[in-house]
Amino acid sequence: MSILSQKASADALPDFRSLGVIARVLVGVNFAALLAAAVRSQSAADLAENVLDIAAVLEPALLAALVALYAASPFLARLPYRTGLAAVFAIVTAVTLVLSALRAEAMREAFASGALRALAFALLATALLAGYFRLRARAFSPALAEARLQALQARIRPHFLFNSLNAVLSLIRSDPKRAEGAIEDLAELYRMLMADTATLTTLANEIEVTRQYLNLEHLRLGERLHVEWRIETAPRDALVPPLLLQPLVENAVYHGIEPGIGPGTIEIAIYREGDRVHVRLTNPYHPEHQHRQGNRMALANIRERLALHFDVEATLESGIAGANWEIHMVMPYRRGK
């Protein structure tokens, strides 16, 4: 377990393009400003006056810093944590000093005293927010290690491995090329499971891993398993958490296809609407053969990882839709290379 969690615990800067991150920064800084105004005030009238005075200085600097961090976010994401954090402090310092100088010139005030107070508040707020986001990421990080461990355990389930190898053995003489492809698919699945799940991957990679998994399940289930891919408009360059789609499809096979007597269909639809990526997955629903605990754990883990990477901008909903079970994920469109 320590090996699996090693990468997942690595520190990373928050995504300053995330609405959740921006909202937390705005609320946190303004709350701190309100406390500072309350400390300086003797009455309600003083509080209102102090809040307005602080807001006149704070809000332009805060909004300018957020705009600068939003623009620099792709660059900051490529830096090591400590270097990126130093860059964030440098950006906040530069924005604060520039706006303090412009305000001092416009108001014909002394630059030094006002600039030092503004800079001290800005750096303190930045340090507190950096600590908060680091603690928040570490609180979610066990979900990354758990995702890899659960997926690895799923892949080495005796029935899965036994049936996959038996299927390969039965094909070696009759269809050696297909047998070779199945072994390659199995090897690729193991390679992906041992990869770093703390960083985002492209949707194209997730689709490919899921196809490889389904190829192996087709060997076992044959005509009982039908898969309909609706991915003509899928944004394949979109960045998503790794091992996002394949565990959901595995659940669909386990809960929707295996309990059935006849053939069953899994439908996978991925498309983009504006700046959102939608993933819809449906499978047959058999209420008398539901392993609810395992299903809930998998969905909870994916929700945690979506929250870690995309905050409030990502959602996952699931429920019964007629004779099917449906999962609908929505994520922000973040473009990869």
pLDDT in tens, 198-235: 678 899 989 988 888 888 888 778 889 999 999 999 99
Which of 148-162, 265-279, 313-327 is modeled with the greatest confidence? 265-279
Residue 163 pLDDT: 64
Q: For the stretch 311-336, what's the b/e string if a residue is b when 16 or more beta carbons lie within 10 angstroms of its beta carbon?
A: bebbebebeeeeebbbbbbbbbbbee
pLDDT higher than threshold 80 for residue 164: no
Which of 82, 105, 138 is the endpoint of a domain?
138
Average pLDDT of the residues of the chain: 81
Residue 192 pLDDT: 66
* Rounded mean pLDDT, 32-58: 84
CA distances (Å), origin 137, targets 10, 11, 59, 131, 329: 9, 7, 27, 10, 21
Q: Are residues 128 and 181 in the same domain?
A: no
For residue 2, what pLDDT band results from cuts at 50, 70 and 90? very low
Q: Strands 225-230 and 264-273, how do they pair?
A: parallel
Q: Are residues 134 and 163 in the same domain?
A: no
For the segment 29-40, what is each residue's pLDDT rounded down to a tens digit?
999 888 888 888
Q: Are residues 189 and 310 in the same domain?
A: yes
Task: Supply the pTM of this predicted model.
Answer: 0.67
The token pair at 110 is 């002394």
Q: Are residues 134 and 184 in the same domain?
A: no
pLDDT higher than threshold 50 for residue 5: no
For residue 78, what pLDDT band results from cuts at 50, 70 and 90? confident
Residue 143 lies in a domain: no
Domains identified in the chain, total number: 2
Residue 147 lies in a domain: no
Q: Are residues 176 and 320 in the same domain?
A: yes
Residue 148 lies in a domain: no
CA distance 129 to 125: 6
The DSSP symbol for 332 reads E
Residue 50 lies in a domain: yes
Q: Are residues 43 and 167 in the same domain?
A: no
Please name which of 212, 226, 220 lies closest in space to residue 171, comparing C-alpha atoms: 220
Domain residue limits at 300: 156-332
Q: Are residues 116 and 257 in the same domain?
A: no
Which of 83, 112, 138 is the endpoint of a domain?
138
Q: Specify the CATH number for the domain of residue 161.
A: 3.30.565.10
Q: Are residues 171 and 304 in the same domain?
A: yes
Q: Are residues 323 and 181 in the same domain?
A: yes
Q: Are residues 134 and 161 in the same domain?
A: no
Which of 163-177, 180-194, 317-331 is modeled with the greatest confidence? 317-331
Q: Are residues 164 and 244 in the same domain?
A: yes
Q: Does residue 318 contact residue 328 with C-beta atoms inside 8 Å?
A: yes
Residue 232 pLDDT: 94
Q: Does residue 164 contact residue 182 with C-beta atoms inside 8 Å?
A: yes
Q: Are residues 168 and 85 in the same domain?
A: no
pLDDT higher than threshold 80 for residue 19: yes
